[in-house]
Amino acid sequence: MSTQISIHAAVSHWLSTVIIGLNLCPFARGPYTDGLVHIEVSSACTFDSALDDVLTHIDALMQMSPSERSTTLLVTPDYFQDFGDFLEAIDTINAILEKTGADQFLQLAHFHPEYVFEGVAPDDASHYTNRSPYPIFHLLRTEEVADAVASMPDIDGLPARNIALMREMGIPALLKLGR
């Protein structure tokens, strides 16, 4: 249990210092401050059990109102260490969301300790926009994302701003933040 507590604490620290603290996602602060972000540490150690956990949390989030829970971060510390397996799971989850129609209500964002953007050098600091202490499946409400995007001027410039910030800070400084 203490391991789950320390994993939860590491993810919460990363969320507050990197994602919110560096303003990588300007929409995250409100739900986090309001206590509407749920972080769940999965004990799954197989592909199928991890997917079952994701599906359980998709169902749970769809059953709750946004005032109860805005978003869920499902952390899989014991599985999906391999980035290729993680990408395969993302494809599977997105296909399930689409096939069931749940993609009208939820969308998936994802973070991984070894996240690498295709076509970008592996040692480029830009990858830290999506690097996290553990593999994370982030379930978001589509309506809330649409509202947040509509309220943000220059939303299209956000990825470039984040990449520039990561490169400006450099990997040593980013590692000190405790990704």
CA distance 18 to 128: 9
User: pTM for the whole thing?
Assistant: 0.94
pLDDT in tens, 133-144: 999 999 999 999
In this predicted structure, what is the pLDDT of residue 166?
A: 97
> Is residue 1 predicted with pLDDT exceeding 80?
no
With b meaning 16 or more CB within 10 Å and e meaning fewer, what string describes 55-76? eebbeebeeeeeeebbbbbbbb
CA distance 32 to 162: 20
In this predicted structure, what is the pLDDT of residue 97?
A: 95
pLDDT in tens, 16-68: 999 999 999 988 999 999 999 999 999 999 999 999 999 999 999 999 999 99
In this predicted structure, what is the pLDDT of residue 151?
A: 87
User: Where does residue 80 fall: left (phi above 0), alpha (psi -120 to 50 degrees), or beta otherwise?
Assistant: left
